[in-house]
Chain A
Amino acid sequence: MVYTYEMHGLKLALDVESGALHVLDEPSYAALQLLASAECKDAEKQILEKFGEQSTKQVFSEISELQKKGLLFSGKMPISSISDGVVKALCIHLAHDCNLRCGYCFAGSGNYGGVRGLMPLYTAKRSVDFLLENSGKRRHCEIDFFGGEPLLNFDVLRETVAYGKKRAEELDKVLKFTVTTNALALTEKVRDYLNSEQISVVLSLDGRRDVHDRMRRLPGGGPSYDAVLSNCKEMVAGRNGENYYLRGTYTRHNRDFTEDVLSMLDEGFDQISLEPAVLTPDKQESLREEDLQELFAQYERLVDVLWQRELNGKRANFFHFELDLKHGPCAKKRVSGCGAGEAYLAVAPDGRLYPCHQFVGEEDFYAGHVSSGIIKDRLNRFYGLDTENKTVCGSCFARFFCGGGCHASAWIINHDLLEPYSLGCALHRKRVECGLYLQARRMLHQLGSE
């Protein structure tokens, strides 16, 4: 399968099966468009009529050469996903409570529809043991502290990291820690600790003040922007601008989200992610099919803004555009993106296990306990949820950059783990187009071709 498209004057072709990316001129673009179309039977004749004999011969000769090298129209190969029953990532819910009351929170303002509370140290340590015991021969494992707001349980976080590092060292494993936080509780003491322990941080800020404060309110209804921004700045400065992501959420209320990324850039951040809110259609903030063209235009605008900044020596990483075309993961990894229910599990403050953080509290998805282990039967429906088994993925050019989408989104929107959230897919395809475009611009710039 070959996917052709044009963005900001650059004509591109992606050979889906091999991952090869080609920059085209007008005749080769026209030829590949025709060849990629199942209906076209006389591509060469059409190109000859439009571009003349010499160009046509050259174009088809180049296409043929690339085809022989497996870089165009490469055949579909059967790929089995990595599925060996080991757990290598755990989302530890240190707190089912929060110091914010965000309008789009999937976790019911932090308590996941249950009782507000914190994870005891015993359960957190047991969670570490559970992960290490179930990780088989995998050396690299990950723990993400999540909530609610995990920093409400900072002492337990600190003890858990110390315990995890000690146990990992004893077992010759490497544990990577990340904390996802709303940044309100990032005091100097907490910041210093997270920096000294080299814990990755994902900091939540939505962009412009009014956009952020509209959704991310304090429990009494007050705004949080000033405190959050100040703490994020301190946090990032304290780690020399490394090992962090500033992440925001956009909703139907800020479909002009490029302005929010610009606001983050203006505040000095250069590692940025902005995510579309996944909400059921009944919610006023939910994104809709009729918003897509506007959102696509925003992504295209954003990638252009980022490239122009980069040319002026102000490179920033927008997470979804940072595709690695040379050292990306292998094919086996690429067919199954979401690890939920297989390599990735979430643990609630009471030690109960779920396929991922978004399923926590859904008793239909209860999958065991860190003390007694996984109930394998409860996770059977998560095995084999890869692009090979999802019908819609088969014809999608972005499937090897995606892996089949978020299982939780598929469930929330469609109640079917094999049917990805279509609006999310559409946005993801556009982000892949933009990401490929940005990588192409960078590579051409390095080659001196522009």
Chain B
Amino acid sequence: MTMKHIITLNPDAAQAFEAGTGCGECPTSCQSACKTSCTVGNQVCIREEEKK
């Protein structure tokens, strides 16, 4: 969404953020540095993955 002063890069963000049901099918994140610390920001919703 592009306006004169502000460009919103992900206007559907709020929708996507709230839509999830918490099905728990996404990978379990491990934030330990001795593995590859997978934070929730690195993950995608598995339902969205399956749609691709």
**Which residues of chain A have a CB within 8 Å of any CB of chain B?**
13, 15, 18-25, 27-28, 55, 58-59, 62-63, 65-66, 69-71, 74, 77, 81-82, 84, 86, 88-89, 91, 106-107, 138-140, 142, 144, 146, 176, 180, 202, 245, 247, 249, 273, 275-278, 319-320, 322-334, 337-340, 343-344, 356-358, 398, 400-403, 405-406, 408-409, 424, 428, 432, 435, 439-440, 443-444, 447, 449
Contact = CB atoms under 8 A, between A and B. Distances in A.
A21 B43 contact: no
Contact of A180 (B7, B29, B35): B35
Contacts of B24: 82, 84, 86, 88, 138, 333, 343
Interface residues of B, number: 44
Contact of A20 (B8, B25, B30): B8
A406 B46 CA distance: 22
A398 B45 CA distance: 18
B11 A20 contact: yes
B33 A278 contact: yes
A326 B10 contact: yes
Nearest to A91: B30
A406 B33 CA distance: 8
A356 B29 CA distance: 11
Given A329-B44, A333-B43, 8 more contacts: A15-B13, A19-B13, A20-B8, A319-B42, A326-B10, A338-B30, A339-B30, A405-B31
A344 B28 contact: yes
Contact of B8 (A21, A88, A138, A328): A21
A77 B45 CA distance: 20
Contacts of B34: 106-107, 249, 275, 278, 357-358
29 contacts: A20-B10, A22-B6, A23-B9, A27-B5, A58-B5, A59-B5, A77-B18, A89-B28, A91-B30, A107-B34, A247-B35, A273-B37, A278-B32, A324-B42, A328-B45, A330-B16, A330-B19, A330-B20, A330-B21, A331-B22, A332-B22, A333-B26, A337-B29, A339-B29, A339-B30, A344-B28, A356-B30, A402-B39, A447-B2
Q: Which 3 pairs between the two chains have the least Cβ-Cβ distance?
A: A330-B20, A332-B22, A401-B41
